[in-house]
Amino acid sequence: MKHLYLTVVYFCTAFFVLGCSATKEYALSALEPAKVGLSTTITKIGIINENAASEKSAYKTRMEQLLSAKNRQLEKVGIEAAIVGLFNELQKDQRFDTIQLILTEVNESKGLGDTIDAIAWSAIRDICETHGVDAIFSLAYYETDTQVSLKKKAVEEQNMLRQMVKVSGLEITLETLIENGWRIYDPYNQKVIDEIVFNEQITATGQGSNPLYALENIEDRRETVSEQSTQAGSLYGRRLLPQEKEVMRDYYVRGSNKLVEAKKLTIEGHLEAAADLWKMETTHENDNIKAKACFNMAFYQETQGRYTSALDWAEKAYAHIPNKRAFAYLKTLENRIDQSKIVQEQLQRSRLSASVELDSN
């Protein structure tokens, strides 16, 4: 009985502490600088396919040969879709004067990381000079790897009387890992500006009276591969632009009646009304309440995109009560102001006028 009493007391205490937290979290969106920065001198872009698929010369089984052939077809579809996805995304970025799809023979890329200079710099520079571009975006690596699993499954099949009957059969499952790697080459500074690999996985199933029939009856994977590869190319293009991200912020909800009332207003989405109450408390005679109110005003100003004002309020909060929370928020706002300047520069550049060309020579 004593143990039961202690357990109840423990949970009641925990509930009271958690339920009466001095702060509450609020989610807001923030624009972060692009993951890839390009020089202002790069205004003409060439896109190439650096990948070269190799064909296996010997197969142990007919199943292996058919699966290999299907994967080669998938790779071809995926490569074309990935490049188109990147091309379409770069068209939206108005900092570029020219975007070209360049068909050219290049060295086979074996993957990213181990051989960063998969193409000789002299070859990259020749491509740029021939086509009049400043930098090369390359699909450097594209490969599929499929794992096969089989299990017994009753399947429907037409008998001699052309009636559909259930017979013993198999279900085949293909789990295909798709890896595509990208690079940006700056030939004149002989620098790989960026490189990254995206991984996706698709699953498809088919049924038949034997493994080969099951493979032939499998769902068409081409559409799925095409969609995912297009998205991968588009995603890579978006690495050049600022991206929106959700961040969490704390605000004080205890200390005075107005802070408690403002909490309810904030939860209901009435931030401006809550800010009116917080501002009243910034002149409170109690330094602790005054500091909390100033902190909350900094939070409110940040939600409105007024970062300099938010920093001013955070400094006031820290001046009243110099605690770790206020100091950390000060640094967060200073960093956000710096990032905001970079974001504005990147957005301003991306709105410049542009023309698009398609080169298939």
What pLDDT is recorded for position 66? Answer: 81
Is the pLDDT reported for residue 6 higher than 50? no
What pLDDT is recorded for position 51? Answer: 77
Is the pLDDT reported for residue 264 higher than 80? yes
Rounded to the nearest 5 percent, the helix, strand and coil shares of the chain are: 45, 25, 30
What pLDDT is recorded for position 71? Answer: 85
Q: How many CB atoms lie within 10 A of CB 258?
A: 18
Name 130's Cβ contacts closer than 8 Å, sequence gap at least 6. none
β-strands 135-158, 243-252 pairing: unpaired
What pLDDT is recorded for position 165? Answer: 67
**Domains, the chain, with CATH or none:** 44-146+176-241 (3.30.160), 249-347 (1.25.40.10)
Tell whether the torsion through CA atoms of 117, 121, 125 and 127 is positive or negative.
Answer: negative
Rounded mean pLDDT, 30-53: 88
Which tens digits make up the pLDDT trace of 221-249? 889 999 999 999 999 999 998 988 899 99
Is the pLDDT reported for residue 302 higher than 60? yes
Encode 103-137: b = buried (16+ Cβ within 10 Å), e = exposed: ebebeebeebeeeeebbeeeebeebbeebebbbbb
Structure tokens at 29: 């969106």
pTM over 0.85: no
What pLDDT is recorded for position 12? Answer: 41
Which tens digits make up the pLDDT trace of 122-180? 889 999 999 999 999 999 989 888 888 888 877 776 666 676 767 787 888 888 899 99
State the chain's mean pLDDT as an integer: 84
Which tens digits make up the pLDDT trace of 93-117? 888 999 999 987 665 555 555 444 4
State which H helix or E strand residue 351 sits in.
none
What pLDDT is recorded for position 93? Answer: 86
